[in-house]
Structure 1
Amino acid sequence: MRAFAIVGTLAMYVALAMVGRLVEPVGDLPLLWPAAGFVMGVAYVWGLEFVSVAFVGATLAGWLGGMSVGGAMALGLVNAAEVAFGCLVLRRLGVRPHLERVRDVMALLACGACASAALSATASVGIFLVSGRIHVSGAMEAWRSWATYEATGIMALAPAVLTLGSKRTKNLRVSRVELFAVWALGLTIGGLVVWAPFPALALVMPILMWVALRLGPRGASVSVVVLVFFGGLVAHAGVDLPTIDAARVHVGLVLVASACLSATTLTLGAAVAEIRRAETDRMRIEAEDRAIRERGELREHLLAIVGHDLRGPLSTVAGAARLLLQNEDPSARRLADVIDRATKRMSLLVEDLLDFARTRLSGISLVLENLDLRDVCERLVEEAKVAHPERAIELTARGDLSGYWDAHRVAQMLANLIGNALTHGQEWMRIEVFGEAPFAVVLRVANGGPPIPAEMLDQLFEPFRRGTRASAPGLGLGLYIVREIAVAHGGEVAATSAEGDGTVFNVVLPRDSREEPVSSSEPAGSLPDLATASSPEIVREYESS
């Protein structure tokens, strides 16, 4: 099959070379401009072994055009080098054959067409000078004509071969009537090139734009083939000019104008393909995001339902345990005490799950009341000392600590911070509350434990993040709930960790958030240096923001 493909490509090459001779801008030079573009596209899509077709075909076309065998072989070598150079440069630049990117079209026009054509024109004109087929005085004109026609041929044939041979490129749905009408109109306007080439080419531009918009790179590339060949060949056959030089100039200008329109059409087709691909990617990403959100909402609804349904059985077990505690049998009371502690831990886990679901679904709701934070802190610290008499827990409270907060949520926030410090800290814990500022109070909890790596600090407040200790209790929602409660009050929380103080949690709470309620999922403001500043500096930062 490969051999048949090579033979068929060779036959097509020779036929296109003969067609190229119909447009003869430099006397009797055997121009191969359509064939070069065709074989370059074939070699890029199906393999560099098709470069040999360029050598054999150009040699045969040159010999049929009246050149000697040696000159024809030299011309074949030049043509093969042109094709190989263009293919290697395009592969180096990563050009995709479907031409659905503007950068691919620009690379094809600049390197595949212009650079390769300049290389071919330079080598070919040199061969013709040595062989005596052209005079030195006409070398520049021959070079310009050769380079122009080679670049036009590559620009016309190569894109069509690339896009038609690309598996990725797909035809868009266009009605046959619409397609027939536009081609008929294009051919009619193309016929006007015979009498008025440049106005007619201007009329072709809207049709090419329609083709690029409707059919993409493939339709644009096929339209370019029709435009270049129809414009060039019809103009050459139909124009009756008094001198050969005038005819050459006329045909050359028509082909140059056609090449410019072709470049515009190919670029527009690639731009349209990029826009469509970007729109497809956007829709795909939106669909994936929507699916992720739906899965997240389903999970959060499930957690809320499970947490709510667990409350009833836990209340029953807790009530039974309290009744058993009244039993006179010591062993029964001991078992009841174990059951009572276990149900309390389970109740806390269920409440954490419900709070997590609330923050995700609707945010934490607050019941604001006039509250003294000092009373809350003293009560929770006293409870912690009773439960953990072996730990040294120090409380420092200064200034006016009154404000409008949710008493239950603030107590829950401080209890979570104290529980975290008891779990991950050392023998001592320091709790400080500062109320010197008029608009906010600062709560600081230091656990004195080992420092946490800096890269892990940002993850402390994420849900379901547990400490490094395997025996750490809970679901990893405590610090997440702390952050959500602080944000719901219009405040913020951050953590630092270093030797000495261990991990320190800084919470800033505005005294009154009644006028501007804040959703727990959207922080009210930013505290630039909350993680590193001292407590007075934290307050100043907050008030200034």
Structure 2
Amino acid sequence: MMRTEGFRRLCLAVLRILAVAGAYYLGGRIGLLQQVVMDGAVVTPLWPPTGIAVACLLWLGLRIWPGIALGACLVILWIGTLDPVGLGIAAGNTLAPVCACLLLRRAGFRTTMDRLRDGVALVFLGGLAPMLISATVGAGLLRATGKMPASEFWTGWWTWWAGDAMGVLVVTPLLLVLRRARVPRDTYRWGEAAALGVTAVVCTVLATRSELALLFLVFPVLIWAALRFQLAGSAPCVLLVSVLANAAAVDLVGPFASHTMTEGMVNLQALNGSAALTSLLLSALVTERINIRLRLEQACQDLAEVVDRLTSARTARRPTPPDDPSRPTAPKGS
């Protein structure tokens, strides 16, 4: 019986690792659709596998790290050959999400992201700080082996770091909210969600494809989504903005047409970072305020119930006043 239970747990652990590897590989294939090639070195302004890896580590624990390493190796094999440089890049891409998970756990991060501190922790401890590891290891190995010229190093390093960080800020919140998403029952909410989706698509396409400087149009939509739907609305909107903006920057069209690739990447990541920070922190803040209000209402209701019970008990224990002896009474025979 013990051997059967142990074998079942081993099979479950292997299946989880393979599932994480498959999700990482699929995310890598999707991320490479918007790639930037710099003299043979491939970097992406948005790298979804990093966000997938952080979400899986938060859900399943650190034991699934081999799945991240396997997925990273599969992505590198799909691009080219798995040489020592590729193995080093895969190691960096594995170590960065693991460090992110450790830092988030240390900070008391909650996957519900119902506090402002959770949003701040995900931004700095889950995205910006640990992704320095993968960017430095990857760009450094490419530069050391001559696969990336010195003139392109800082652009490649910046794009690599920002792409990994944006993968965490864009993809991880979306996966966390999808796990606990509930279908709204109110017809009005469905209508408002549809209106938000249409407005987000129209405004984002206009902002990223127009030659005018209209990138600011995405922020009212993100604020609307965060205020009315919190993370469930803002996370998909941020993903839409990031994908369409990345496509425009890679193609050098719209507001990115008159810039070099380096300038375009800087403008792109400034937009993506600002959009992700706005939606993520505002959503967490609104959710925290809603939860505080609900707890206060529940506390007031509990207090009212306690007062009612005390009043009822005091009334039940109140003694009956004795009869007044001076009051005339009816004769017994009447």
Structure 2 counterpart of 1:12: 23
Structure 1 counterpart of 2:174: 160
For residues 367-386 of structure 1, the aligned pairs below 5 Å read none
For residues 127-146 of structure 1, the aligned pairs below 5 Å read 127-146=141-160
Distance of 1:253 and 1:185 partners within structure 2: 23
AA at the equivalent of 1:127? L
Give the structure with the higher percent strand. 1
AA at the equivalent of 1:116? P
> Structure 1 residues 197 and 154, CA, compared in 2 at 3 Å: closer, same or farther?
farther
In the TM superposition, what is the alpha-carbon distance from 1:177 to its structure 2 partner? 2.6
Give the structure with the higher percent helix. 2
Q: Secondary structure at the match of 2:110?
A: coil
RMSD: 2.7
Question: Greater CA deviation, 149-158 or 251-260?
Answer: 251-260
Distance of 1:279 and 1:289 partners within structure 2: 15
2:164 pairs with 127, 130, 150, which one?
150
2:32 pairs with 16, 21, 31, which one?
21
Distance of 2:229 and 2:20 partners within structure 1: 27
For residues 195-274 of structure 1, the aligned pairs below 5 Å read 195-196=209-210, 199-237=213-251, 239=253, 246-274=260-288
In the TM superposition, what is the alpha-carbon distance from 1:155 to its structure 2 partner? 0.8
| Larger relative contact order (CA 8 Å, sep ≥ 6) | 2
1:105 pairs with 96, 119, 125, which one?
119
1:302 pairs with 307, 310, 316, which one?
316
AA at the equivalent of 2:101? C
In the TM superposition, what is the alpha-carbon distance from 1:312 to its structure 2 partner? 4.1
Structure 1 counterpart of 2:72: 58
Q: Per-residue CA shift, 1:474-500, capped at 9, x if unaligned?
A: xxxxxxxxxxxxxxxxxxxxxxxxxxx
Would you say 1:115 and 2:129 are equivalent positions?
Answer: yes
> Structure 1 residues 194 and 290, CA, compared in 2 at 3 Å: closer, same or farther?
closer
Asked if structure 2 preserves the Cα contact closer than 8 Å seen for 1:82 and 1:116, the reply is: yes
AA at the equivalent of 2:280? L
In the TM superposition, what is the alpha-carbon distance from 1:134 to its structure 2 partner? 1.6
AA at the equivalent of 2:301? A
Asked if structure 1 preserves the Cα contact closer than 8 Å seen for 2:88 and 2:137, the reply is: no
In the TM superposition, what is the alpha-carbon distance from 1:231 to its structure 2 partner? 1.9
Distance of 1:156 and 1:198 partners within structure 2: 26
Distance of 2:99 and 2:167 partners within structure 1: 16
> Structure 1 residues 242 and 225, CA, compared in 2 at 3 Å: closer, same or farther?
closer
Report the structure number with the largest CA radius of gyration: 1
Would you say 1:30 and 2:47 are equivalent positions?
Answer: no
Distance of 1:246 and 1:84 partners within structure 2: 34
> Structure 1 residues 224 and 104, CA, compared in 2 at 3 Å: closer, same or farther?
same
Would you say 1:86 and 2:97 are equivalent positions?
Answer: no
Seq. identity, %: 21
Distance of 1:22 and 1:215 partners within structure 2: 30
For residues 384-423 of structure 1, the aligned pairs below 5 Å read none
Asked if structure 1 preserves the Cα contact closer than 8 Å seen for 2:204 and 2:241, the reply is: yes
In the TM superposition, what is the alpha-carbon distance from 1:258 to its structure 2 partner? 2.1
Q: Per-residue CA shift, 1:177-203, capped at 9, x if unaligned?
A: 322221112111211244337844311
Would you say 1:47 and 2:61 are equivalent positions?
Answer: yes
Distance of 2:26 and 2:270 partners within structure 1: 23
Distance of 1:102 and 1:182 partners within structure 2: 24
TM-score, normalised on structure 2? 0.83
- Segments of 5+ residues of structure 2 without an aligned counterpart are 1-11, 326-334
Count of matched residue pairs: 309
AA at the equivalent of 1:79? N
Would you say 1:176 and 2:187 are equivalent positions?
Answer: no
Asked if structure 1 preserves the Cα contact closer than 8 Å seen for 2:174 and 2:235, the reply is: yes
Distance of 2:311 and 2:213 partners within structure 1: 62
Asked if structure 2 preserves the Cα contact closer than 8 Å seen for 1:231 and 1:255, the reply is: no
Structure 1 counterpart of 2:88: 74
Asked if structure 1 preserves the Cα contact closer than 8 Å seen for 2:208 and 2:244, the reply is: no
In the TM superposition, what is the alpha-carbon distance from 1:24 to its structure 2 partner? 3.3
TM-score, normalised on structure 1? 0.52
